[in-house]
Chain A
Amino acid sequence: KNQVEQSPQSLIILEGKNCTLQCNYTVSPFSNLRWYKQDTGRGPVSLTIMTFSENTKSNGRYTATLDADTKQSSLHITASQLSDSASYICVVSAWGTGGGNKLTFGTGTQLKVEL
């Protein structure tokens, strides 16, 4: 069974600090891994997407890493801002049949940035 586990479940940090979110997955056959940011009451917005051969991908203050051997990924947020407060969801895509890839969603890490 394909699974995606994220840790921590929730996190509170002070503005300006860095933080790292973790994602472990057991998804096969692996296609790609994405990190999404979901604000409360909104749909998820893509931050990064990495395929099997990519180890690191950056998007502004967000840097994602992928270790396909250990099936782990991390999302590092630098110099956090109040607007970073949101749920961060790790989503792993498995190659599917019929032209559609199957997505497995993590339960997310709820990040709160405080003054």
Chain B
Amino acid sequence: GAVVSQHPSWVICKSGTSVKIECRSLDFQATTMFWYRQFPKQSLMLMATSNEGSKATYEQGVEKDKFLINHASLTLSTLTVTSAHPEDSSFYICSASPPGQNIQYFGAGTRLSVL
């Protein structure tokens, strides 16, 4: 199956700093990638849809200035958590679908801990 790589897998940062998370499709091109957030024992919540070459589409309640998304190429999307605070601590997961396939492949996730 297709592979989606996420980096880093775990990051600890100080409050007020910014953190960048990368999502790469390793063996296919993805015009669309998705960013999710997951709190402990809860389901994945879609944050935004990342579109290559255009602005991301954010879900209701997600601050676009807080969570910056850049999809500069067909294989890479980045999520930057700006001025992170402890309440931003969560598990962030990206996904992508190979062209013509109606299935999303998920990255392994990034655990963000803000001190």
Contact = CB atoms under 8 A, between A and B. Distances in A.
Nearest to B1: A46
B32 A46 contact: no
A87 B91 CA distance: 15
Interface range on chain B (Cβ under 8 Å from partner): 20 to 34
B41 A34 contact: no
Contacts of A1: none
Interface in B37-72: 41-46, 49
Nearest to B45: A105
B1 A44 contact: no
B25 interface: no
B73 to A, nearest CB: 19
Interface string B19-34: 0000000000000100
A44 B102 contact: no
Given A99-B32, A100-B32, A45 B106 contact: yes
B56 to A, nearest CB: 12
Interface stretch (A16-24, A60-68, A106-114): A106-114
Contact of A89 (B4, B43, B103, B111): B43
B81 to A, nearest CB: 18
B44 A105 contact: yes
Contact of B103 (A34, A99, A105): A34
Q: Which 9 A-B pairs have the closest CB atoms?
A: A43-B106, A105-B43, A107-B43, A43-B109, A43-B108, A44-B106, A105-B44, A43-B93, A43-B107
Given A46-B105, A49-B102, A101-B102, 5 more contacts: A31-B102, A43-B93, A100-B32, A105-B43, A110-B41
